[in-house]
Amino acid sequence: MNDLKQKILTAVENDLSEIEKALSDNLNPYLDLVSDVAGHIIFSGGKRLRPLLMVLSARICGYTGNYDVTFSTAIEYLHAATLLHDDLVDSAALRRGKPVAHSKWGNSIAVLVGDFLLSRALSISAGTGNLKVIRILSKLTEDMSQGEVLQFIRKGDVSLTEAEYLEVIRRKTALLFKAACWVSAVIADASDDEESALSDYGFNLGIAFQMADDLFDYTLETSDLGKEIGADLKEGKMTLPVIYALKQANSTDKDLMVKIIEDKNFSVADFKTLVGMLQKYGGIAYTEKKAAFYIKRAKDALSAFNSSETKETLLDIAEYAIARRI
């Protein structure tokens, strides 16, 4: 698995360093504080997966211009904007092992700098001069914001169904991955088939990526996770491992699980009990299986393209999205 990571990193080394530079060059803040706060979230060890997908998607469609890297910052800024607001909404404490922005600068600054990053992302998309790109990204921000509301209002609801969970992760993660790949095909002036193939790749990868992320809360230790153990549960986020196990459990076990979930101050022992239930009732395995299913769909979508180094990297990224340990 580390071999796969290394293979990907070697293949995209130049791209990642160009993306890193572009993220710094294009932020364009007028106030130092905005730069500090935005930098705190943007330069905090993110994987740059979304901008990387954009650069690779443009390349696989034969794009040879020089706007792809600049443009890829739009999606990363948009992603950072949602993280700033989400951490606030979730009352999160840590992200990637560091205190969240709102605990460092206060809620107001987190709200306002999030607004700036969202606006900056849409300005960069306007800078493409491509109406289709602009429409895809503005529609995306609308869909995502309502997804966040949906997640928020269903927090702590142990009756959340798998279909409702899918709707939440579709809006909060998969649509962003989909848009990242899709708009890059548009920028590259790709065929409809190529646009459609990359949309499908991004969407399915996004679903699987989020499922893998949701699994980590129950399979990793804090030191790897970069956030508190059981953080999702403490924030009331019902994810697939839990949803599935609750559905399968006998009534005694279900009652026990619900009791732990509804007690926001559960102990480490309680949490371990819950993780044991997720294993016992197949919540972990089911989620892994589902994630693998979506990754297969993502890979299949790429059959529209001939073999190339770029295609191989996109396939490797899909594989790694579920094989990774954070």
Which of 134/292 has CB closer to a copy of itself?
134
How many residues interact with a copy of itself (rule CB under 8 A)? 41
Eight-class DSSP state of 90: T
Q: 94 - beta bridge partners? A: 99
107 makes contact with a copy of itself (CB under 8 A): yes
Q: Cβ-count burial of 95 within 10 angstroms (0-12 exposed, 13-18 middle, 19+ buried)?
A: buried
Segment interacting with a copy of itself (CB under 8 A) among 30-38, 188-196, 272-280, 316-324: 30-38
Among 19, 52, 53, 122, binds a copy of itself (CB under 8 A): 122
Among 112, 158, 220, 258, binds a copy of itself (CB under 8 A): 112
Which of 58/92 has CB closer to a copy of itself?
92
Helix (H, G, I), strand (E, B) or coil at 225: helix
**What is the length of the chain?**
326
Q: What phi and psi values does residue 116 have, to the nearest 5 degrees?
A: -60, -45
CB atoms within 10 A of CB 292: 16
Widest pairwise Cα distance in the chain: 61
26 makes contact with a copy of itself (CB under 8 A): no
Dist. CA 79–CA 84, nearest whole Å: 9
Which of 148/312 has CB closer to a copy of itself?
148
219 makes contact with a copy of itself (CB under 8 A): no
Residue ranges in contact with a copy of itself by CB under 8 A: 29-31, 33-34, 85, 88-89, 107-109, 111-116, 118-120, 122-123, 125-127, 129, 131, 134-135, 138-139, 141-142, 144-146, 148-150, 152-153
